[in-house]
Protein backbone atom coordinates (compact mmCIF):
# COMPACT_ATOMS: atom_id res chain seq x y z
CA UNK A 1 0.00 0.00 0.00
CA UNK A 2 2.80 2.43 0.89
CA UNK A 3 4.54 1.65 -2.40
CA UNK A 4 1.40 2.47 -4.45
CA UNK A 5 1.04 5.76 -2.56
CA UNK A 6 4.68 6.55 -3.38
CA UNK A 7 4.06 5.79 -7.04
CA UNK A 8 0.91 7.93 -6.90
CA UNK A 9 2.87 10.89 -5.53
CA UNK A 10 5.50 10.44 -8.24
CA UNK A 11 2.77 10.48 -10.91
CA UNK A 12 1.13 13.53 -9.32
CA UNK A 13 4.48 15.37 -9.38
CA UNK A 14 4.86 14.48 -13.07
CA UNK A 15 1.37 15.87 -13.75
CA UNK A 16 2.28 19.01 -11.80
CA UNK A 17 5.45 19.51 -13.86
CA UNK A 18 3.47 19.16 -17.10
CA UNK A 19 0.94 21.70 -15.84
CA UNK A 20 3.72 24.14 -14.88
CA UNK A 21 5.07 23.93 -18.43
CA UNK A 22 1.56 24.61 -19.74
CA UNK A 23 1.21 27.56 -17.37
CA UNK A 24 4.48 29.04 -18.63
CA UNK A 25 3.29 28.70 -22.22
CA UNK A 26 -0.01 30.36 -21.26
CA UNK A 27 1.90 33.20 -19.61
CA UNK A 28 3.87 33.70 -22.81
CA UNK A 29 0.61 33.73 -24.79
CA UNK A 30 -0.86 36.19 -22.33
CA UNK A 31 2.13 38.52 -22.64
CA UNK A 32 2.04 38.25 -26.43
CA UNK A 33 -1.69 39.03 -26.45
CA UNK A 34 -1.21 42.04 -24.14
CA UNK A 35 1.58 43.25 -26.42
CA UNK A 36 -0.55 42.66 -29.50
CA UNK A 37 -3.51 44.47 -28.00
CA UNK A 38 -1.44 47.49 -26.98
CA UNK A 39 0.40 47.60 -30.33
CA UNK A 40 -2.48 46.47 -32.51
CA UNK A 41 -1.93 49.13 -35.19
CA UNK A 42 1.62 47.89 -35.79
CA UNK A 43 0.89 44.13 -35.75
CA UNK A 44 0.76 43.73 -39.53
CA UNK A 45 4.09 45.59 -39.80
CA UNK A 46 5.57 43.30 -37.13
CA UNK A 47 4.29 40.23 -38.98
CA UNK A 48 5.90 41.39 -42.22
CA UNK A 49 9.21 42.33 -40.57
CA UNK A 50 9.42 39.11 -38.57
CA UNK A 51 8.50 37.07 -41.64
CA UNK A 52 11.34 38.64 -43.61
CA UNK A 53 13.73 38.03 -40.69
CA UNK A 54 12.86 34.31 -40.76
CA UNK A 55 11.04 34.43 -37.43
CA UNK A 56 8.06 32.40 -38.54
CA UNK A 57 6.54 31.79 -35.10
CA UNK A 58 6.52 35.50 -34.21
CA UNK A 59 5.22 36.36 -37.67
CA UNK A 60 2.43 33.78 -37.37
CA UNK A 61 1.46 35.08 -33.91
CA UNK A 62 1.32 38.67 -35.17
CA UNK A 63 -0.85 37.61 -38.12
CA UNK A 64 -3.22 35.74 -35.77
CA UNK A 65 -3.38 38.85 -33.59
CA UNK A 66 -4.49 41.01 -36.49
CA UNK A 67 -7.28 38.53 -37.23
CA UNK A 68 -8.48 38.45 -33.60
CA UNK A 69 -8.70 42.20 -33.16
CA UNK A 70 -7.80 44.26 -30.09
CA UNK A 71 -10.83 43.34 -27.93
CA UNK A 72 -10.43 39.60 -28.41
CA UNK A 73 -6.67 39.91 -27.87
CA UNK A 74 -7.34 41.56 -24.51
CA UNK A 75 -9.82 38.82 -23.56
CA UNK A 76 -7.28 36.18 -24.55
CA UNK A 77 -4.59 37.90 -22.48
CA UNK A 78 -6.77 38.13 -19.37
CA UNK A 79 -8.19 34.61 -19.65
CA UNK A 80 -4.81 32.97 -20.28
CA UNK A 81 -3.13 34.87 -17.44
CA UNK A 82 -5.90 34.00 -14.94
CA UNK A 83 -5.90 30.33 -15.99
CA UNK A 84 -2.11 30.27 -15.84
CA UNK A 85 -2.24 31.72 -12.33
CA UNK A 86 -4.69 29.02 -11.25
CA UNK A 87 -2.48 26.32 -12.71
CA UNK A 88 0.62 27.69 -10.97
CA UNK A 89 -1.21 27.99 -7.64
CA UNK A 90 -2.55 24.44 -7.91
CA UNK A 91 0.86 23.14 -8.96
CA UNK A 92 2.67 24.85 -6.10
CA UNK A 93 0.13 23.74 -3.50
CA UNK A 94 0.11 20.15 -4.76
CA UNK A 95 3.91 19.98 -4.99
CA UNK A 96 4.27 21.23 -1.42
CA UNK A 97 1.72 18.71 -0.13
CA UNK A 98 -1.20 21.01 0.59
CA UNK A 99 -4.41 19.01 0.47
CA UNK A 100 -6.46 21.83 -1.06
CA UNK A 101 -3.94 22.02 -3.91
CA UNK A 102 -4.85 18.53 -5.05
CA UNK A 103 -8.51 19.55 -5.23
CA UNK A 104 -7.62 22.75 -7.07
CA UNK A 105 -5.57 20.70 -9.52
CA UNK A 106 -8.58 18.41 -10.09
CA UNK A 107 -10.65 21.53 -10.80
CA UNK A 108 -8.05 22.95 -13.18
CA UNK A 109 -7.93 19.66 -15.07
CA UNK A 110 -11.74 19.53 -15.18
CA UNK A 111 -11.85 23.10 -16.56
CA UNK A 112 -9.87 21.97 -19.58
CA UNK A 113 -12.15 19.03 -20.45
CA UNK A 114 -14.94 20.92 -22.28
CA UNK A 115 -12.41 22.81 -24.40
CA UNK A 116 -10.46 19.68 -25.21
CA UNK A 117 -13.66 17.79 -26.10
CA UNK A 118 -14.75 20.64 -28.38
CA UNK A 119 -11.30 20.67 -29.97
CA UNK A 120 -11.47 16.92 -30.56
CA UNK A 121 -14.89 17.20 -32.24
CA UNK A 122 -13.86 20.25 -34.27
CA UNK A 123 -10.43 18.93 -35.28
CA UNK A 124 -10.28 15.16 -34.77
CA UNK A 125 -6.73 13.85 -34.81
CA UNK A 126 -4.60 11.43 -32.83
CA UNK A 127 -2.88 14.38 -31.13
CA UNK A 128 -6.12 15.91 -29.84
CA UNK A 129 -7.33 12.48 -28.69
CA UNK A 130 -4.05 11.87 -26.84
CA UNK A 131 -4.20 15.29 -25.16
CA UNK A 132 -7.77 14.61 -24.04
CA UNK A 133 -6.81 11.14 -22.82
CA UNK A 134 -3.87 12.52 -20.83
CA UNK A 135 -6.09 15.17 -19.25
CA UNK A 136 -8.67 12.57 -18.22
CA UNK A 137 -5.93 10.28 -16.89
CA UNK A 138 -4.36 13.16 -14.96
CA UNK A 139 -7.72 14.11 -13.51
CA UNK A 140 -8.47 10.52 -12.41
CA UNK A 141 -5.04 10.09 -10.81
CA UNK A 142 -5.25 13.46 -9.06
CA UNK A 143 -8.83 12.80 -7.92
CA UNK A 144 -7.80 9.44 -6.43
CA UNK A 145 -4.92 11.11 -4.60
CA UNK A 146 -7.17 13.90 -3.31
CA UNK A 147 -9.75 11.38 -2.06
CA UNK A 148 -6.99 9.31 -0.43
CA UNK A 149 -5.63 12.44 1.26
CA UNK A 150 -9.15 13.35 2.45
CA UNK A 151 -9.45 9.99 4.19
CA UNK A 152 -6.09 10.51 5.88
CA UNK A 153 -6.92 14.02 7.15
CA dist 153 and 147 (Å) reads: 10
Question: What is the reported pLDDT for 140?
Answer: 92
Per-residue pLDDT tens listing for the chain (153 residues): 444 555 667 888 888 888 888 888 877 777 777 776 666 555 555 555 545 555 555 555 656 666 666 777 777 778 888 888 999 999 999 999 898 999 999 999 998 899 889 989 998 999 889 888 988 998 999 999 899 888 876
Single out the residue of 149, 146, 145 nearest to residue 7, CA to CA: 145
- Tell me the pTM: 0.71
Other Cβ atoms within 10 Å of 18 Cβ, number: 14
Output the CA angle 34-91-94, nearest 5 degrees.
160
Question: What is the tally of structural domains in the chain?
Answer: 1
Question: What is the reported pLDDT for 90?
Answer: 93
Question: What is the reported pLDDT for 31?
Answer: 73
**Domain coverage including residue 101:** 2-152
Q: Which pairs with CB-CB distance under 8 Å and at least 24 residues apart come from 38-45? A: 40/65, 40/66, 40/69, 40/70, 40/73
Question: What is the reported pLDDT for 2?
Answer: 46
Question: What is the reported pLDDT for 1?
Answer: 44
Amino acid sequence: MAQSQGQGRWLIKLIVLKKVLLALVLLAISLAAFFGQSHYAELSDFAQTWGQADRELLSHMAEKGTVLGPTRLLRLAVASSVYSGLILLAAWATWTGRHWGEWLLVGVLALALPLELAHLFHEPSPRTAIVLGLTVLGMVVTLKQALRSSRNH
